[in-house]
Amino acid sequence: MIYGYMRISTQKDKQTTDRQRLTLEQYAKDNDFKFDNIVEERISGTVKAENREIYGDLKNKTLREGDIL
């Protein structure tokens, strides 16, 4: 499976991942593939990746050999 990961650093509704999603989808289109799942996380960039709940779960529990993140 191919996963995309988007992160924004605020819990405020005015900031969205819309542009990130468009960029990921355009990249996939340009490179002739589709994401199976794109996940979003709202957490500060000062939090280390290994301490991010959604990223950590994806990396440590969801990804299988051969998957792409």
Least confident span in 8-17, 39-48, 57-66: 8-17
The CA-atom distances, in angstroms, between 40 and each of 5, 25, 32 are 6, 14, 22
pTM over 0.75: yes
Give CA–CA dist 26/4, Å, rounded. Answer: 12
With beta carbons less than 8 A apart as the criterion, state whether 58 and 22 touch.
no
Residue 57's pLDDT band, with cuts at 50, 70 and 90, is very high
With beta carbons less than 8 A apart as the criterion, state whether 59 and 69 touch.
yes
- Quick check: 13 pLDDT over 70? no
Mean pLDDT of the chain: 92
